[in-house]
Structure 1
Amino acid sequence: MMRRLSPLLTAALLALTLAGCGGSARDDDASQITDPASATPVDTATVGGTSASPAPSETVDTAPPASEPADAESTLKAAAKDVVDNLRDRDLKSLASWIDPDRGLQFSPYSHIDVDKDLVFKAAELPSFKDATTYEWGSADGSGDPIRLTFRDYFEKFVYDQDFADAPNVSAGKLLGTGNTPSNILEVYPKASFVEYHYPGTDKNGGMDWKSLVVVFVPSGSDWKLVSIVHGQWTI
């Protein structure tokens, strides 16, 4: 009887042995999965952990986070700097691109804007430095005489008579240069914002030789438009 059962037992033992080997082979295959993108094995022990690669349906945003929108004062100062740089370089073409298309650009020789006499130019009408026309720019402080100058002469006396692009003091929304004549910028332009480029006065002259250049803007969408260039100095 034992001899007859021996072949059967042998076959059964052989089948169990093969089954065990087959299971072991499958476990070894499951422990390494080839990444089709890199054709290298990926340790499945890390799947679900911090070092696992994203699933094919996932996307990874590698773009840097968007920067925060600049605040109004920063954009205002940037606009003012560009305008003052244009004035320093006498780049009237670039300056014209800042001018408000509806209001135009008003030039005021003093801190108090004279809405009746101060000249206003649209961008396309801005005079050139070669323009020999004598314009009347308002009334001179003290004497009240008409200020009659070419655009070049007015520019050199009542716009860029100091290197304002390199002014030691720059202020947004608050005037540093004050004299006997009060500023009325916000009365003339209620919704405006301004930046002042200021040279303080010297002790030699009792502080009365201060000079300022004020550039005045109104909001236009997300940008600014230039409406006035105001020259500031001590007035009687």
Structure 2
Amino acid sequence: MMRRLLPLLAVALLALQLAGCGAGNDRSTASSPGADAEASQSASPSHNHAVPAPSPSAGQPTLSSEHSESPRVSEEKSALHDAAKDVVEALRDRDLKRLAGWIDGERGLRFSPYAHLDAKSGLVFKAGQLPSFRDADKLEWGVYDGSGEPISLTFRDYFEKFVYDQDFADAPDMNENKLKGKGNSAYNGQEVYPGSSFVEFHYPGFDDKLEGQDWESLILTFVPSGRDWRLCAVTHAQWTI
């Protein structure tokens, strides 16, 4: 009797074991999504941490506020440029009335035949005192470079030799607060007029054989007046001995 029951008991035990394994697999399968989600969360970056921006490469320039030009500085430079253009055109047109409108009321207008301004003996004119092109009187404008002889000329003759002897309104170079034309006579306008700015109209030369020694410049010196500029010096510059 027992021998007959043993096979049946063995089959029953085997069935119970198989059923238990199936239930265990089901529980394992049911718990796997949570584990996968936890693993996924720990592997992915947290949304609370910002991703750092890439740093610029060595070859990529960066704009520094230190080097950027403020709107006020840009406005002043534009006003200086416009003032210089209007003055040089007035000189080209020999329009003394237009020129007088730019003269600084306090300092007047100084004429200098060379880059170095003579602050002691140079001629200075107020707006209403500019000579006429018709004046026959000769004035002492300084001394000639090299000889030291006095420059004694009428206003017309001085203008044609030491102001507008070239078409400076059409000069190839226009420079603000820097000079291309430099010789033995150094420009000292900003020493004579502290706080001033200047504009140079420059010809690098006319005869290739002279290798630039025949350069000429017209330098207009301005002093600030509020948001505007006023003319205080007209300077002729050229190669000097």
Fold conserved (TM > 0.5)? yes
SS at match of 1:71: helix
Q: Distance in 2 between matches of 1:117 and 1:155?
A: 18
**Which deviates more, 114-123 or 141-150?**
114-123
- Counterpart in the other structure of 1:90: 94
Deviations 1:88-143 (A, max 9, x none): 00000010000001100000000000112210000000001001110000011001
- Counterpart in the other structure of 1:158: 162
Q: How many residues are aligned here?
A: 169
Give the 5 Å matches for 1:8-23.
Answer: none
- Counterpart in the other structure of 1:234: 239
Report the structure number with the largest CA radius of gyration.
Answer: 2
**Which deviates more, 201-210 or 110-119?**
201-210
Matched, 1:134 2:127: no
State which of 102, 105, 109 in structure 1 corresponds to 2:106. 102
- Quote the offset at 1:73 in angstroms: 1.2
State which of 216, 224, 229 in structure 1 corresponds to 2:221. 216
Q: Distance in 1 between matches of 2:232 and 2:202?
A: 19
Give the 5 Å matches for 1:179-194.
Answer: 179-194=183-198
- Quote the offset at 1:181 in angstroms: 1.4
Deviations 1:150-185 (A, max 9, x none): 000000000000000000000000011001111111
Q: Which amino acid aligns with 1:196?
A: E
Q: Which amino acid aligns with 1:195?
A: V
- Counterpart in the other structure of 1:205: 210
Could you say which structure has the higher helix fraction? 2
Q: Distance in 2 between matches of 1:224 and 1:181?
A: 26
The runs of at least 4 aligned residues of structure 1 exceeding 6 Å deviation read none
Q: Retained in 1: the 8 A contact 2:224–2:230? A: yes
Q: Distance in 1 between matches of 2:83 and 2:209?
A: 34
Q: Retained in 1: the 8 A contact 2:183–2:239? A: yes
Q: Once superposed, what is the RMSD of the aligned Cα atoms? A: 1.1
TM-score computed with the length of structure 1 as normaliser: 0.70
Identity of aligned residues (%): 63
- Quote the offset at 1:81 in angstroms: 0.2
- Counterpart in the other structure of 1:119: 123
Q: Which amino acid aligns with 1:88?
A: R
- Counterpart in the other structure of 1:167: 171
Q: Distance in 2 between matches of 1:194 and 1:235?
A: 21
Q: Which amino acid aligns with 1:97?
A: G
- Counterpart in the other structure of 2:11: none
Note the residue ranges of structure 2 that are not aligned, 5 or more in a row. 1-70
Q: Distance in 2 between matches of 1:75 and 1:101?
A: 18
Q: Which amino acid aligns with 1:132?
A: A
Note the residue ranges of structure 1 that are not aligned, 5 or more in a row. 1-67
Q: Retained in 1: the 8 A contact 2:103–2:231? A: yes
Q: Distance in 2 between matches of 1:207 and 1:235?
A: 12
